[in-house]
Amino acid sequence: MINKSEHHEESPHHHTVPIKINGVEHKTHRGENTVEHLRKLGNIHEKDILTQEKEGQSLDLEEKGHVEIHGGEVFASHKKHHHPHHEVAIQINKTEHKTNAGENLIEHLKRLGGVPKDEVLSEFKNDNFIDFGNEGRVEIRGGEVFVSHHPGAPIVEVTDLNTNTSVKFFARWEETLAQVWTNAYGELKEARKPGDEFLCEGGGTLTEHLNSTLAQLREQKVCQNRHYQIRRATGGA
């Protein structure tokens, strides 16, 4: 026989709310949930650890533990490793952050770095940018470098002919060539000097195009590979 008062007390407990596990939305009841239930809900492999993403931190959950669910919680799984709480330093948009070594969700890294939802996170690796989907994951060992950009943003490469140093970075199609040139000095950690010139790699000076946007230069087929060079007033190649 069901006690009516007990039934009314329990009914809010059975109200379902959305949560995310490994980037996939699931429904579960509001209130206390066992970790075992959440693992089954997210189809977590028995050898993996379930973590809760909370306030920019990944908290490992005890297999026999419980979690209070209010709705909107985010969980992720990662493979067990010898030092599950070992934190390492990574860089996101030129700012250092700490995160757990091992598999990290891209969604977690974007939150960690304050990356807007409509931007793509990329890792700069082996002199190339590797884009990740929001529901992907990446193995973190420490020292990784990530940058964010709008989908379809152009990549430019600039070489300082004086030092033979090259940098690659994302620009925006609405940026002028003059803005790209200015940003290149920041990436190179160099100061602009009077008499410096901005060139197209293997071509001539771009002085007359400095006020054009990258989108306009693309339409005009000017320096289409966006490989640029800075020729210094003194020295250089």
Cβ contact 125:88 at 8 Å: no
Residues 161 and 223 in one domain: yes
d(CA 194, CA 145): 33
**What average pLDDT score do residues 110-136 get?**
92
Q: Which residue shows structure tokens 């693309």?
A: 218
pTM metric for this prediction = 0.64
Query: Side chain identity at 149, as an amino acid letter?
Result: H
Residue 206 lies in a domain: yes
pLDDT digits (tens, 9 = 90+) for 55-96: 766 788 988 899 999 999 999 887 765 445 589 999 999 999
Helices (H) and strands (E) in the chain, counts: 5, 18
pLDDT at 79: 74
- Is 90 exceeded by the pLDDT of residue 184? yes
Q: Is residue 235 pLDDT above 70, yes or no?
A: no
Number of domains in the chain: 3
> Quick one: pLDDT band at residue 190, thresholds 50, 70, 90?
very high
Has residue 51 been placed in a domain?
yes
The confidence score (pLDDT) of residue 8 equals: 41
Domain that holds residue 73: 4-79
> Residue 236 falls within a domain, yes or no?
no
Answer yes or no: do 111 and 69 share one domain: no
Averaged pLDDT of the chain: 88
